[in-house]
């Protein structure tokens, strides 16, 4: 398992009965987590002194209960700063476990000894975009949500990266890649964090089980002849590391050579010393 254990501003303090107690900077949140199927005693007193609690509804979805939480605050990772705020579906605008991938590809970019063009697809609030830009890459950031792209720009400004070579685009990722193929544009690296289900700006439907392998295959047409890396993230239960590995091998390694590794990613839990699984990633290196 790849473990995001270099945080100082974020911590999973404890887990129990379908929930996790987290520290986001100065604030404590309790949020549901489908991986936490155990019910252990909650001995840490901070469970009772939280700033917000997201309650899942038996009818689907849920809602926040706030005690003492600002509308927005920020945390840092290395030289990056992220603005956070609670919004729908329990999220805060950041997936801290992805830091282990940021560290991995940032090293590749810095050691490449050549200009690196990175395409970040389904780019959300820009964690991977900022990490790649800070490492020296030229980045194209694509997400179907205008609000998420605006949020990513704000994170860039907070991180001192407003002048970094980042192209910010609100677009359907599949249609964008199709246009890049027609334009003849190429990239040294691709990052993708596709949702399980989603809709594009014009109602385009994305179902990951049906769409992900054809999309990875499509993306091979915009990789240059010597790709530096490709990163595919998944939070969908059916897309285990072995599945990611098979897909990347079939679509990319068979065409370009190189090799692929895939594993779960996770966050340490302070109370137990165990690792909380947080999805899976497949990594290709040329």
CATH code for position 56: 2.60.40.1180
Phi, psi for 100 (deg, rounded to 5): -65, -30
Q: Count up the domains in the chain and report the number.
A: 2
**Which CATH number fits the domain that encloses residue 220?**
3.40.50.150
Same domain? 56 vs 100: no
**Is residue 150 over pLDDT 90?**
yes
Residue length of the chain:
286
Establish if 90 belongs to a structural domain. no
Q: Is residue 252 in some structural domain?
A: yes
Range of the domain at 28: 2-84
How is 49-102 classified by DSSP, letter by letter?
S-SEEEEEPTTS-EEEEESS--S-EEEEETTEEEEE---STT--S--GGGHHHH
Helix (H), strand (E) at residue 278: strand 275-285
Q: Report the pLDDT averaged over residues 156-185.
A: 97
Residues 257 and 140 both lie in one domain: yes
**Largest alpha-carbon pair distance within the chain?**
59
Look at residues 46, 16, 43, 45 and name the one whose alpha carbon lies nearest to residue 31: 16
Which domain-ending residue is among 62, 84, 106?
84
* CA gap 119, 190 in Å, rounded: 5
Domain identity same for 234 and 113 = yes
Residues 136 and 44 in one domain: no
**What pLDDT does 181 receive?**
98
What is the spatial distance between Cα 29 and Cα 87, in angstroms, rounded to a whole number? 13
What residue spans of the chain are helical by DSSP H?
99-110, 127-134, 146-158, 173-183, 208-219, 241-248, 254-256
The pLDDT of residue 9 is above 90: yes
Q: Scan for tokens 């810095």, then name that residue.
A: 110
HSE (CB half, 13 Å, CA atoms) of 76? 7
- CA dist 64 and 49 (Å) reads 16
For residue range 25-48, what is the model confidence (pLDDT) as tens digits? 999 999 999 999 999 999 999 999
Q: Tell me the C-alpha distance between 13 and 140, whole Å.
A: 35
Helix (H) or strand (E) holding 169: strand 166-170
238 vs 97 pLDDT, higher one: 97
Same domain, 131 and 74: no
Are residues 180 and 241 located together in one domain of the fold?
Answer: yes
In a domain, 42, yes or no: yes
My answer on whether 165 and 100 are in the same domain is: yes
**pLDDT over threshold 90, residue 195:** no
Domain final residue pick, 42, 61, 84 = 84
Kindly state whether residues 187 and 105 are assigned to the same domain. Answer: yes
Distance CA 157, CA 129 (A): 13
Last residue within a domain, chosen from 84, 104, 120: 84
Q: Which of helix, strand or coil describes residue 26?
A: coil
216 in Cβ contact with 247 (< 8 Å): yes
Q: Is 91 inside a domain boundary?
A: no
The verdict on 111 and 15 lying in the same domain is no
Residue 205's pLDDT is what?
73
Strand-pair partners of 168: 141
Inter-residue contact 252 to 232 (CB < 8 Å):
no
Note whether 129 and 258 are same-domain residues.
yes
Whole-prediction pTM = 0.94
Residue 95 has pLDDT above 90, yes or no: yes
In a domain, 140, yes or no: yes
Which of the four pLDDT bands, split at 50, 70 and 90, describes residue 200? low
For residue 205, the surrounding DSSP H or E stretch is strand 205-207
Residue 230 belongs to a domain: yes
């Amino acid at each position: 398992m790849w473990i995001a254990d270099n945080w100082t501003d974020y911590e999973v303090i404890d887990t129990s009965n379908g929930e996790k107690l987290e520290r986001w900077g100065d604030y404590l949140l309790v949020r549901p987590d489908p991986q936490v199927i155990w019910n252990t005693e909650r001995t840490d007193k901070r469970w009772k002194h939280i700033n917000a609690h997201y309650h899942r509804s038996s009818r689907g979805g849920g809602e926040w209960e706030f005690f003492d939480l600002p509308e927005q605050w920020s945390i840092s990772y290395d030289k990056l700063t992220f603005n956070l705020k609670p919004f729908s579906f329990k999220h805060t605008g950041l997936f801290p476990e992805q830091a282990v991938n940021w560290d991995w590809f940032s090293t590749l970019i810095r050691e490449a000894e050549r200009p690196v063009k990175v395409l970040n697809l389904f780019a959300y609030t820009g964690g991977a975009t900022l990490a790649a830009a800070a490492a020296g890459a030229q980045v194209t950031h694509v997400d179907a949500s205008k609000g998420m792209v605006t949020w990513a720009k704000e994170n860039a400004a907070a991180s001192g990266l407003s002048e970094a070579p980042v192209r910010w685009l609100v677009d359907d990722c599949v249609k964008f890649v199709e246009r890049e193929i027609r334009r003849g544009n190429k990239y040294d690296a691709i990052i993708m964090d596709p949702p399980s289900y989603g809709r594009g700006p014009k109602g385009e439907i994305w179902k990951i089980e049906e769409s992900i392998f054809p999309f990875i295959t499509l993306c091979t047409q915009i990789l240059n002849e010597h790709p530096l890396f490709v990163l595919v993230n998944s939070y969908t239960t059916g897309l285990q590391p072995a599945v990611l590995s098979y897909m990347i091998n079939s679509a990319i390694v068979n065409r370009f050579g190189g090799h692929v590794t895939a594993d779960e990613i996770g966050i340490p839990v302070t109370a137990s010393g165990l690792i909380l699984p947080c999805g899976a990633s497949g990594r290709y290196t040329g």
